[in-house]
Structure formats: structure tokens, C-alpha cells
Structure 1
Amino acid sequence: MSERAYGEELMSEKILFVDDDINILQAYKRQLRKQFDLHTAQGPEEALKLIADHHNFAVVVSDFSMPGMNGVEFLSEVKKISPNSVRIMLTGFANATNAINAVNEGNIFRFLAKPCAPEQLALSLHASIDQYHLITAEKELLEKTLSGSIKVMSQILSLVNPVAFSSTSRIKSYIKHMVETLNLPGKWRYELAAMLCELGYVTLPPETTSKILANQPLSSNEQTLFDAHPTVSASMLDHIPRLEEVAEMVRRQQSNFSDYTLTEESILADPSTLGGCMLKVALDFDRLINTGMSLPKAIQSMSNRRGVYYPRLLQCMESLSKVDRSMEIRPIYMKDLTVGMIADEDILTVNHMLLIAKGQEVNLPMLERLRSFAKTTHIIEPCRMRIP
């Protein structure tokens, strides 16, 4: 990497300096602003609010001695709300006890004594940004690998059992909308939960699955099977590394908002509970929409059920500009079918074999499967498709 490119890379990452002395903060800015994208906070409280609002500081540099909360306590809190941020401690009271506590409690990357020469501080910031890139690159690789694997599995399941997994793409789109509206970090977790929340449907009889998707009444035995499917789904995910939180979201998908003892605000800081609340909203919303109910009526119907849904999520759903039903519907022949189209009716062979269930979004494996069937088996054409 050229020196210029490396400099641009450094400036692309935000660094937060925290000290209760405004003069010291201004000195850091004068010394380092040409090399780094520097931000300052006068004290721990202001800093924690900045971090909570933005989630994207690559490096957090804190003084040790501050009123109300010392540097070790502060950086321990930073670790909780922004675990990827690399943490540096600056102190004029360097001793073994402080250093040990800083490393053990706050996972400090560097422990620097004050006064610290600008050159030494700059070198430590360079090393910290490199460490941040290493952490985030590895995390991104793991998340993309995991997400890609789950996507392949989801596509295979949609081919094997098109009825059970016909709603996956819609549920994922609703979850994505809620995550983006709330500006939540780690959106991949919520989207994976959406893709896997109905994994337990593979254990249900096809007739039961069809009744569930059509929002029809279930017998007591069918209801028992349906009530168990979140636990079945979650148990399949429990032992997959990095999916523990996703498994818990899936397990909680049928829990009512009133089942939780957390406050509305604290739920936003608890991904497992928030993810479960999101799935509850998305799944019930989708079933109402599929009965032909309009978006406003579906939201109103859900709002009338006090204590069932997290109110803030219903507000998110109100801002949906459209749902899939509002897409243009056209008759499409197999030769003109493309990825992203959504079936507005079951796609069947002339022998009434189900290839794609109503509501399923066409992905690449489905497209290849349909084209293969079209060459060897007669498919009832044209098919009504919703065009995004």
C-alpha cells in the first residue's frame, strides 16, 4: 500500500480521546488532527453517549484519573457496547496494579504513561488502527462465511420443502427494515434469525404447514406441534459456533412482549430479546398480509393486541412504504423468469407436483430447477409472478 493510501486509510477510521481536562483534549487535537480523524469527549458520560450513538470508533483513548468513573471502569464499559474498538489507556500514575487491572478488566491494547510524546502516541494509534482492521476483517470473514453457508442451506430447504419455506424472503425483508429503521449494529444476526426461524417446520406434517401459512385454525394436536417448532429450530442451532444469539432469537419468536421483564429501552440493548420480538412481529404481520389484509389494517389489528408486540417495532412496520403484494403482477413463462421474481400462485407440473409455493422468491437454484423441469416435464404456464 502506498504512503498516501495508508494515510487515507488512517483518516477513514475515527479515534475518540476521553479526558476530563479540556485543555489536554485540545492539545491532542492540535498534535494529531493532520494524521487522524480525531474526536474528543470531556469525561466518561459524554464519551459513552457518543459511542452508543455511533458504534464506529476504531480506537478509544482514555485518561485513567477522571471523576465519577476511572479509566479502567470506563474502558470496561466501552468493551461491552463497542467490543471491536481498540482501547488505549493514558495515565500519569503508572504502576503495576493499574496496568494489571487495565489489561484484565478493559482488555487494553496499549498502556501509556503521561506525558506521552506525540511521536510515541502516533505510533500507538497506528498500531491500534492496524489491530482494529485485523479484528474487523476476521469478524467480517467469519460472518460472511457463516451467512453464505446459511443462505445455501436455506435455498436447499426451500427446494426440498417449498410450502414450509415460502415466506423466508418476506420475513427477512421485514426484519431488515426494522433493523435499518432502528439503526442497529450486527444486522447479520437478525437476518440469519429470519432465515432460520422456521427451520422446525421440517418436522410438521405438510397439511399443518399449509394451514399455518393460510392463517387457518389448528387442531389441538397441530397447535402443540406448532408451539414446539421454535424450540426444535433453536436446538438445531444451539451448537453452531457464533449462532448462540441467533438460536436464542429463534427460540423466543412466539413470546409476547408482556412475557419480558425488561423495559422498552433495555430491550434495544438485548439482541436476543429484541430479535425474538422482531420475529414475532414479522411472522404475525406476514400471516395477516397473506390473508389479503392491507398494511394499515394489519398494523391496527396487531396494535389492538395489547402486550403481544413491542410497540416500537410496530412503529417501524408502519413506515413500510409497500409490501410484496403491491408489486406489479404479470403472467410469466419459464423462459422469461428471472431471479428476484415472487410467485403469486403455486407453480406446478401438469401432474400437480409443487415446484414453488405461492409467496416464494425465485433464487438461482430455484431458477435452475424450474428450467430443468421445463425441459423434461410440462409445467403449467404462464405463471402469475410479482415483479420487484
Structure 2
Amino acid sequence: MNIKILIVDDDTNLLDSMRRGLCRRYNIVVAGGPDEALKTVKEQGPFAVVISDLRMPGMDGVRFLEKVRDMEPTTVRMMLTGHGDLDAAMAAVNEGSVFRFMTKPCPAEILIRALDAGIAQYKLVTAEKELLRGTLRGCIKVLVDILNLVSPEAFSRGERVKRLLMALSKRLGLTNTLKLELAGMLSQIGMVAVPQDIIFKRFRGEQLTPEEAQIYRMHATVATTLLSQIPRMNDVGEIIGNQLDCFTNPEIARLPEGAVYLNLCLEYDDLDLLGVDKEAAIESMRGKWAANFPLVFKGFEEMVFSDDGFVPRLVPFKEVRVGMILRQDIFDDSNLLIMAKGQEITEIALLRISKMRESFKLPDKMNVLVPLQAI
């Protein structure tokens, strides 16, 4: 772990003194004011500890440390000032979430103890964050793997919708798209509770009975319930829970933006599954989408007709590579679906169909989308 400490003060003599006194023990970076420090945090961060003076021109230390907290929430923040009044200390602790408040001149042993405690706190927080991130990844992987085993069609739909969402996000210039990516990937996870015959009928555009339609629609609720058990997945669950035709929702204006994007991509995928070409699909969607979400639909239309970086090819099986995308369903001799249209060829998927070819008669050639960079 790269442990760095940033010290911020408009007194250059003090900065030089602190750097000389601490550089043998810590990796010290200094900044002569809040503006310079914020640029340093952006360009050289993250820092384990940031120590700031309280009284600085342009921006006081409390406001500066608030900005540091917004930029790097795990950074431990400390205040070192010659103005040791109670009000300043309270503001620093309450508004800037300051870990330590020290006054000048600060004895070296006190400063070192504070820095060691701050570094220990930083390591603890980052370790917990990494543990949570690993747990989250593991939970998501298990859910997706289960869906792939139970319903390849639903898994494939989730993969297609995820790609549409990511392409739309890029076209709209969205940032922090992780929630959207997860929403697309997990949008069909509730299908584990839907019988396969109903999924087959729905994805092939066949008319569902009222009872079947009710069972199918419950998959969004099932998904939300499953995801509610995973920490920090509430926002993703809310997006997925509102995926079923947002135009029937009287609260459409209050829907999360992610739910609108997901609805749009799912509706397009429905038409694509039925073999509707791009032009006809976009025209059939234009009326309601352009009227209610004109900017979003404009971006989606541009995305659909832009070069997506793939070309269709009929490829001999021995030339199939990781990164290609299936344009056909693959069945075994008993007509059991092995891989569904739209699924990306991963190392595991390639190994699976290679093994299946030893026991079942699979096509000699596969209809795939090949990345342009692979041609």
C-alpha cells in the first residue's frame, strides 16, 4: 500500500521544517495553500492523511477538508493550527470530520503519534472497503452464475442489456456508471423464479395468459428482494424493480434515471429478439420515448445506428475466440439450449462448448459478431 501524507499550510518555512523533520519516517508531500492542495489530491492522491492549517487565504482549513472528504472519503483528515479556540475545533470535527485537532507549535512526538494513528485508521478503513468490494463481487458472480445455469436465455438477455446500457451511458456522457452496469447484468436475476416455458413464450413474442403474465412480471420483485440482502445494492435494486414498462407507472417522473434507461434498452431488446431490424425498431419506439424522454431517446437512436465495433461473420468453430458475441442460439441433440444469442464468448464459455462438442453434434460453424480489432 502506497502510504502518502499531504501537509497544507501557507507558511512555507513551517512546511519546509515539517518536511525535513518527517521525511525519513513518512512519504511527505507539501502544498502552499488549499487550491494547490486540491490539485495535488486530484493528481497525486489518494493520500492516507491530510494535515491542514486552519487559517489560510481564500479558503479556511475546515472548508478545504470538507472538499478533501468529498474527493477521497477514506483519507484521514487532521487540523494543525495556531488558533486553538474551541469553536474552530468543533467546526473542524463536525463539518470536516477531522480525526485529530492539534495546535502550533506541536511537539514532534505528539505529531508522530497522531500520524501513526491516522495511518492505522486509513489502513483499517481501506481494508474494510476492499473486503466489502470483494464480498459484493462474489455475491454478484454467484447470482449471475446461477442464472446462467438455470436460464441461459435470461442470462443472455442480461448481457445484451448491459452492453446496451454501457453504450448508451457513453453516448450520453454519463459518469459513475457502475450501478447501471450492475442493473443491466442483474436485471433478469428474478427469472430464477419463473418457469422456463413462460420465459420461452415471452422471449419469442408469444401471447401469455393472464396467469402467465402475472408470474412473469413478478421477476422484478424477486430480483429486488434478492438484491436487498446484499450491502449497498439498494439503488441497483430500485432500478431493477422499476424495469417493467415505465409508461404504465403514474409516478414516471419520479422514476430513477437508471430505470428509464433500463426500460428503454429492454424494449429495444424485445424487438431485436423478434427479428425486427434497427430502423423499424426505432420507429416503433419513437412516439412515446421521444415525447417523454427526448434527449435520452436521441442518444439511444444515435448509439444504435453508430458503428458498434463488431462485424457479423460465420466462423468455423476452431476459429471462435474470446470476445466474439453469438448471433444464434446453440442447442444440443435433445434440443436443449446450451448458449443463447447475444452471449459473449468468454474463456469459460469457449471451454464449455468445446467439451460439449465431444458429446453432442454442434454446428461446424458459428454465427458471431467479431470485434473489428480482431479482423
Q: TM-score, normalised by structure 1?
A: 0.69
Give the Cα–Cα distance (whole angstroms) in 1 for the partners of residues 258 and 14 of structure 2: 40
Q: 1:369 to 1:39 in 2, by over 3 A?
A: farther
How many residues get paired?
357
1:340 aligns with 2:323: yes
Q: Secondary structure at the match of 2:156?
A: coil
Distance in 1 (CA, whole Å) between partners of 2:71 and 2:260 is: 21
How far apart, CA to CA, are the structure 1 residues paired with 2:277 and 2:42? 37
Cα distance in 2 for partners of 1:155, 1:205 equals 18
How far does residue 223 in structure 1 lie from its aligned partner after superposition? 4.4
Q: Name the SS for the 2:102 alignment partner.
A: strand
**Pick aligned residue for 2:175 from 180, 184, 188:** 184
Q: 1:10 to 1:241 in 2, by over 3 A?
A: closer
The within-5 A match list for 1:27-176 is 35-36=28-29, 38=31, 40-41=33-34, 58=47, 61-64=51-54, 75=65, 79=69, 82-95=72-85, 98-99=88-89, 102-103=92-93, 106-114=96-104, 131-132=121-122, 135-176=125-166
Tell me how far apart the structure 1 counterparts of residues 129 and 195 of structure 2 sit (CA, whole Å): 39
1:305 aligns with: 289
Distance 2:287 2:43 in 1: 31
Structure 1 residues 293, 88: closer, same or farther in 2, change over 3 A?
farther
**Distance apart, 1:233 and its partner CA:** 0.4
Q: Among residues 189, 196, 199, which one is paired with 1:209 in the alignment?
A: 199
> Residues of 1 paired with 2:107 and 2:95: CA distance?
26
**AA at the equivalent of 2:357:** A
* DSSP-derived class of the 2:155 partner: coil
Which of residues 167, 171, 190 in structure 2 aligns to 1:200? 190
* Pairwise CA distance, 1:217: 6.3
Contact conserved, 1:330 with 1:387, CA < 8 A, in 2?
Answer: no
2: CA distance, partners of 1:16 / 1:167: 51
The yes-or-no answer on 1:259 pairing with 2:259 is no
C-alpha offsets along residues 300-337 of structure 1, whole Å, 9 cap, x if unaligned? 9458614654836863774575347x43322332x544
Contact 1:252 1:276 in 2 (8 A): yes
Q: Report sequence identity in percent.
A: 31
> Which range moved further: 288-297 or 146-155?
288-297
Distance 1:243 1:227, change over 3 A: same
Q: Helix, strand or coil for the counterpart of 1:386?
A: strand
The amino acid of 1:198's aligned partner reads: Q
| 1:363 and 2:330 aligned | no
Segment drifting more, 225-234 vs 300-309: 300-309
Are residues 61 and 276 of structure 1, via their aligned partners in 2, closer, same or farther at CA, if it must alter by over 3 Å? farther
Q: Distance in 1 between matches of 2:199 and 2:32?
A: 54
SS of equivalent to 1:164 = helix
Deviation track 1:151-207 (CA, whole Å, cap 9, x = no partner) reads 24313421321112112223333344455674634x544433322111112233434
Residue 189 and residue 123 in structure 1: after superposition, are their counterparts in 2 closer, same or farther (change >3 A)? farther
2:343 aligned counterpart, secondary structure: coil
Q: Is the 8 A contact 1:349 1:379 kept in 2?
A: yes
Q: Which AA in structure 1 matches 2:229? A: H
- Paired residue type of 1:330: L
Deviation of 1:358 (Å): 1.4
List gaps (5 residues or longer) in structure 2: none
1:330 corresponds to 2:349: no
Amino acid at match of 2:344: E
2:369 maps to which residue? Answer: 386
Structure 1 residues 194 and 121: CA distance shift in structure 2, 3 A: farther
Q: How does 1:314-325 map to 2 (within 5 A)?
A: 315=299, 318=302, 321-323=306-308
Q: Does the CA-based 8 Å contact 1:159-1:366 persist in structure 2?
A: no
Q: Which TM-score applies when normalising by structure 2? A: 0.71
